[in-house]
Amino acid sequence: MKIQSMLIGAAMLSGCGSAAPLAPSAYGIQPGDFEAAATAYFHEQFTRGDGAQVRVVSAPYRAQGRINGMSWSGWATDVKVRAEMPNGRSSGFLPYTVLFEGGEAFALSRDAAWFERAPSAPSQSFSAL
């Protein structure tokens, strides 16, 4: 019990864990063609990106986190990517989460110091895949 309390306290002090819910407008616009934007992001980021296969596995959802020391709130979508490795072989499909700001893909969740789904607003609905 003492160790659990210490871990929770350390997480709170370090800024990890859940952030307070934000107003829906704080997340900006939902990305329109998120599938194309996520695919284009990987094609730009990978050395051999033109051969990457990207499968979008979730509709966009509100998210928040901390990137480069700055608080961030926007949208995210989950994808699986198979890319060609330097030795010419293909990797298996690996999971990633693409982050969007202003409707544009700009980072991956692994670029964030912390990242989480934002609490969903009951009045908002996501478009179907």
What are 128's two structure tokens? 């179907």
pLDDT band with cut points at 50, 70 and 90 for residue 26: confident
Is residue 55 scored above 60 in pLDDT? yes
pLDDT band with cut points at 50, 70 and 90 for residue 20: low
- pLDDT for res 25: 84
pLDDT band with cut points at 50, 70 and 90 for residue 127: very low
pLDDT tens digits, residue range 74-105?
A: 999 999 999 887 787 888 899 999 999 988 99
CA–CA separation, 82 and 46 (whole Å): 11
Place of tokens 């010419």: 88
Contacts of 35 (CB under 8 A, 6+ apart): 56
What's the rounded mean pLDDT across residues 37-59?
86
- DSSP bridge partners of 66: 71, 114
Distance of CA 1 to the CA centre of its chain: 33
- pLDDT for res 21: 67
Percentage with pLDDT > 90 across the chain: 43
DSSP H helical ranges for 27-72: 34-45
- The number of C-alpha atoms within 13 Å of 125 and in the hemisphere containing its C-beta is 3
Average pLDDT, the chain: 78
pLDDT band with cut points at 50, 70 and 90 for residue 18: low
- pLDDT for res 8: 33
